[in-house]
């Protein structure tokens, strides 16, 4: 046989190029003059001297890797101390860290749902929750976005005894907020459990950055479980499930992404702990992110967001791609979300505010965004591409 078994990859690649959907990696320089509106380093702590020193110190103390699964050699006293600190911060009884936020979501959902149970997930839930649904083998229902009545109906009509409801607190693409109070009411009324992904909530929403669950007064409830990432406001890497002691014990016994994965690296634990310490010392950081996000939204001519995420929908994938490249060429790094990350026809620039943006940087952002968005929105199909170059 003389057939290239992977020849179809080239056809797919060609189709993606013509749809403006090809993705490319762009390696950053260690030091760059570009303004960052693309990362999730919301509090600007990933290079903070205390955070860096804590990561280095953790490496000197514990070594470069955790050396094993959490159940074998991968748990240090630093892991356990940090779990308790993070749980206390968000108002949960207990915490358990995972290698990533993705793994935390897969772990908790698959450990709590299976054949014979129902999982209801918001239509805007993060990809890691979507994959968790698929892996769980439970019956899965997707509820319309932020629709607590629909969730109520789906839970009430179920024949299964056990049910979970999954949602982001702050949705990653649009930056909008889930109706957590209403969701919890219907979840409780139907004897289910609510799992809230606070990846974009912690550090930004709630008192001193304690998250949206705390902000709406739901922290510490036995039928509500928080998942988190350490890779955004906490400037490190890793994930966590923040829950009751009972749930934590069950995850240690049965969450496959906990048991069959190497423990979180000591450097990540050290960095996240230091970032959490800084957030405790400066509880206004989250407020500064929201102020900057509101200013960026004004510049971009879009509604004020409730989070760090400013979403500027431009429509076609190619238009968003060109605009992102044009920003980059002018020294402004922005995110660009295209299908499948967002629905067809809603490709967008995704701008993330940071607490440490300076007034001078805001002036540059106003200039660059003003020019680029005016051109992108002019929508002249004959116009020259704004720029060519790296993909978003
Ligand atoms: C809402 C949400 N949940 C989970 C994750 C996954 O977290 P991590 O990057 O730590 O795997 C992300 C990250 O990108 C996210 O935006």
Q: Alpha carbon of 122 to those of 125, 153, 165, 372: distances in Å?
A: 5, 13, 8, 33
How far apart are alpha carbons 101 and 333 in whole angstroms?
Answer: 24
Domains along the chain with CATH numbers? 49-281 (3.40.640.10), 284-379 (3.90.1150.10)
Determine contact, residues 91/214, Cβ cutoff 8 Å.
yes
The pLDDT score that the predictor gives to residue 17 is 87
Question: 100 in ligand 1 pocket by Cβ < 6 Å?
Answer: yes
* pLDDT lower than 70: segments of the chain: 380-392
To test the pocket of ligand 1, the residue of 40, 105, 199 to mutate (highest count of ligand atoms within 8 Å of its CB) is 199
DSSP code per residue over 335-357: EEE-TTSS-TT-EEEEEE--TT-
- Prior bond of 9 cis (ω within 30°): no
Convert the pLDDT of each residue in 145-203 to its tens digit: 999 999 999 999 999 999 999 999 999 888 999 999 999 999 999 999 999 999 999 99
The pLDDT score that the predictor gives to residue 24 is 82
The pLDDT score that the predictor gives to residue 391 is 34
Q: Could you tell me if residue 364 is left (phi over 0), alpha (psi between -120 and 50 degrees) or otherwise beta?
A: alpha
Question: 126 in ligand 1 pocket by Cβ < 6 Å?
Answer: yes
Question: 257 in ligand 1 pocket by Cβ < 6 Å?
Answer: no
The pLDDT score that the predictor gives to residue 63 is 98
The pLDDT score that the predictor gives to residue 1 is 74
Helix ranges, 177-255 (H)? 180-189, 212-215, 245-254
Q: Which pair of structure tokens corresponds to residue 171?
A: 């949705």
The pLDDT score that the predictor gives to residue 2 is 76
Helix, strand, or coil here: 47?
coil
Q: How many CB atoms lie within 10 A of CB 69?
A: 15
Neighbouring-strand partners of residue 262: 69
Neighbouring-strand partners of residue 36: 333
Q: How many CB atoms lie within 10 A of CB 201?
A: 31
């Amino acid at each position: 046989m003389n057939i290239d078994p992977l020849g179809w990859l080239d056809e797919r690649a060609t189709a993606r190029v013509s749809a403006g959907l090809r993705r490319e990696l762009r390696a950053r320089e260690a030091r760059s003059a570009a303004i960052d509106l693309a990362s999730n380093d919301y509090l600007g702590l990933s290079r903070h001297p205390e955070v860096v020193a804590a990561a280095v110190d953790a490496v000197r103390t514990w070594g470069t890797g955790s050396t094993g699964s959490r159940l074998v050699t991968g748990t240090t006293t630093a892991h356990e101390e940090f779990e308790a600190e993070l749980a206390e911060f968000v108002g949960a009884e207990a915490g358990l860290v995972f290698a990533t936020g993705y793994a935390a979501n897969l772990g908790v959902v698959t450990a709590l749902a299976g054949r014979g149970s129902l999982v209801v997930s918001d239509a805007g839930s993060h990809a890691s929750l979507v994959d968790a649904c698929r892996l769980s083998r439970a019956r899965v229902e997707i509820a319309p976005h932020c629709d607590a009545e629909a969730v109520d109906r789906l839970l009430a009509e179920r024949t299964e005894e056990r049910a979970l409801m999954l949602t982001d607190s702050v949705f990653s693409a649009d930056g909008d907020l889930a109706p957590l109070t209403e969701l919890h009411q219907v979840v409780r009324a139907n004897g289910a459990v609510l799992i809230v992904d606070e990846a974009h909530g912690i550090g930004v929403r709630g008192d001193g950055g304690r998250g949206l669950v705390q902000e709406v007064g739901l922290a510490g409830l036995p039928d509500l479980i928080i998942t988190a990432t350490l890779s955004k406001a906490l400037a490190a890497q890793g994930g966590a499930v923040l829950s009751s002691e009972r749930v934590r014990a069950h995850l240690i016994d049965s969450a496959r992404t906990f048991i069959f994965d190497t423990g979180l690296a000591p450097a990540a634990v050290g960095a996240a702990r230091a970032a959490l310490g800084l957030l405790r010392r400066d509880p206004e950081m989250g407020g500064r992110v929201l102020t900057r996000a509101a200013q960026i939204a004004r510049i971009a001519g879009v509604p004020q967001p409730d989070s760090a995420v400013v979403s500027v929908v431009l429509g076609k994938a190619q238009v968003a791609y060109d605009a992102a490249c044009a920003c980059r060429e002018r020294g402004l790094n922005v995110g660009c979300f295209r299908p499948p990350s967002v629905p067809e026809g809603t490709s967008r620039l995704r701008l993330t505010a940071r607490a440490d943006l300076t007034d001078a940087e805001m002036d540059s952002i106003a200039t660059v965004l003003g020019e680029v968005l005016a051109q992108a929105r002019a929508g002249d199909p004959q116009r020259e591409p704004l720029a060519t170059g790296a993909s978003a």
